[in-house]
Chains A and B, each alone.
Chain A
Amino acid sequence: MSSKNVYLAAEGAAKDWKEAIQLCGKCMMEHGSVNQDFVNACIEREKEYPTGLPSEIPVAIPHSKAEGIKENTICFLRLKEPVRFLRMDDSEEYCDTRLVFNLAIREADDHLEFLQKLMRFVLDAGVLEQCNKLPLAEIPAFIEKELG
């Protein structure tokens, strides 16, 4: 299953969560994984149901099930400075994070095992530290190995 997923990594600076999602979107559009509809849907969804996860190392997992996903893709974004995402479990709280995983996944029910692994992955301080440290070019292979 993992061989069908595309893993991308990007780096950059964003002033807020919206710019962070746009950076992921740009990376995924350049790769041809998604189109602008998907990026817009992620931003709209984030406004209403935010995706910041307040774990040991906070992360955010913006995603949407809208049209516009051409292939299942996980785009990792490493930011220079943290941006503030509202929290998934309590949208009146927030977490500041430099690590964003933008998920473009169609037919979630067919990817249950993968999603379970993915949720464990984004909550695992050990692998997130690797995502922080590794050269950007090595990250897609690292994530694929961890989720494969």
Chain B
Amino acid sequence: MPRELTILVACGSGVATSTVAQEAVKDICKKNGIPAKIVKSTMSEIQSKQEDVDLIMVTTNYRKPVKKPLIKVFGLISGIGMDKIEEDIVKTCKELLNL
């Protein structure tokens, strides 16, 4: 049985955009049969939380180095380039799960 991925979705304040993005990511994972648990945080919490997650998604630009794969998901909010982001998410998740 494949293990479950833990995905961190971060935005500036951890309020508006990460909440919307989190839901979009949840839908994408469900649709594509990817078992995932999604946690939300602010951008400044990324450094401390990255150890506990498999994958990081951000709604804004994040320039500090991270130890886990990082996907920019602003398009899930604006609706621009959504297909490409979905593709990226599915591909990255499947690689992490060795599917």
Contacts and interface: CB of A to CB of B under 8 A. Distances in A.
Interface string A115-127: 1101100010000
Contacts, number: 65
Interface in B1-33: 11-17, 19-20, 23
Given A48-B12, A64-B13, A108 B59 contact: no
Interface in B75-93: 77-79
Nearest to A118: B16
B60 A109 contact: no
A115 B11 CA distance: 14
Contact of B13 (A49, A109, A115, A116): A49
A51 interface: yes
B61 interface: yes
Contact of A108 (B15, B61, B78, B79): B15
Contacts of B15: 63-65, 103, 105, 108
